[in-house]
Amino acid sequence: MIVQYVIAFAVSMIITTLIIQKLVPFLRPSEGNTGLRALGFWLGFFETLLIFIFVAQHEYGALAIVMAAKEFVRKEKVAENAAYYLLGTLINLSIAVLCALIAGMKW
């Protein structure tokens, strides 16, 4: 069982390294392009991935930590337009949790 975790960790590190090396340079702001749209997509993608993982593992408390960290990091933006960010977070969380629960159902 430990071997499976070691292999999975190694694969995860390889994939993460490749993604960061290949994709992150494209997210850097350039003249006339802030890169925020692409960055927002990837942040949402990994947020949703974490939600799926935590739901699959029945770690619902970890969801609260992820959401709290997200809101803490964006506190200035949230202060400017709280309803917009709260709604976006709740929509993403609700849909991701619902889909993860449906995917985990025994049919």
Q: How far apart are CA 69 and CA 66, in angstroms?
A: 5
Q: What is the pLDDT of residues 17-74, one digit of tens each?
A: 777 677 666 655 555 555 555 666 777 788 888 888 898 888 989 988 888 887 787 7
Tokens of 52: 């799926």
Helical residues (DSSP H) of the chain, grouped into ranges: 2-27, 36-56, 60-73, 75-80, 82-103
> How many domains in the chain?
1
Number of other CB atoms surrounding residue 66 within 10 Å: 14
Q: How far is CA 32 from CA 28, 35, 36, 39, 40, in A?
A: 12, 9, 12, 15, 17
- What's the pTM value of the predicted model, to 2 decimals? 0.64
Range of the domain at 14: 2-103
